Amino acid sequence: MSISLYQVSVPVFIKFLGNLSLILDKASAFAAEKKIEQSVLLETRLYPNMFTFGRQLQRVADHATSYSARLAGLPPPVFDLPLTTIADYQALIKASIEFLTGLQASQIDGQEQREISIPRGTEVRVVQGQTHLLNNILPNFYFHLTTAYAVLRHIGVDVGKQDFLGRA
């Protein structure tokens, strides 16, 4: 039995972005309870040279939507949203899920060899769809998702493995 490129990407991104949204609800409640400004929470990082919590959230959404769009032959979506509060990041996650929900399996499946052009500064990197998903996008998606989760655990937000994984 084979698994399609769509099955291992879009539904996975939607599920984990949804889990992240629920985790952000806990982060918001934690900030209110502890009287911590949300900006302080969003600027928290595990180590000085790592991205902030807010940037981790943004990267999770970017990896999911940009890859899926490019693989479907679409330009990556641009969400012109302020990103200064947890509610703003919730809006980003919601917009990302809405974008992903609008993609059809027929746009993704069969695109394993599609060449995807990724701008990198003044250069353009060309990668193949499936290889890029398996070797770059999924690892990066999970890396930033896990790091965002770890930031919250580090500061004491009551989140656990079940929050991260969600329901099957």
Residue 119: strand, helix, or coil: strand
Both tokens assigned to 80: 């012109």
3 pLDDT exceeds 70? yes
Residues 23-72 pLDDT 10s: 999 999 999 999 999 999 999 999 999 999 999 999 999 999 999 999 99
Helices (H), the chain: 10-34, 38-42, 53-71, 86-101, 105-108, 129-132, 138-155, 161-165
Instruction: Determine the length of the chain.
Output: 168
CA-based radius of gyration for the chain: 16
Q: Decide if 70 contacts 108 (C-beta within 8 A).
A: no
φ and ψ of 123, to 5 deg: -110, 165
Burial 98-116 (b: 16+ CB within 10 A, else e): ebbeebeeebbeebbebeb
Residues 80-114 pLDDT 10s: 999 999 999 999 999 999 999 999 999 999 988 98
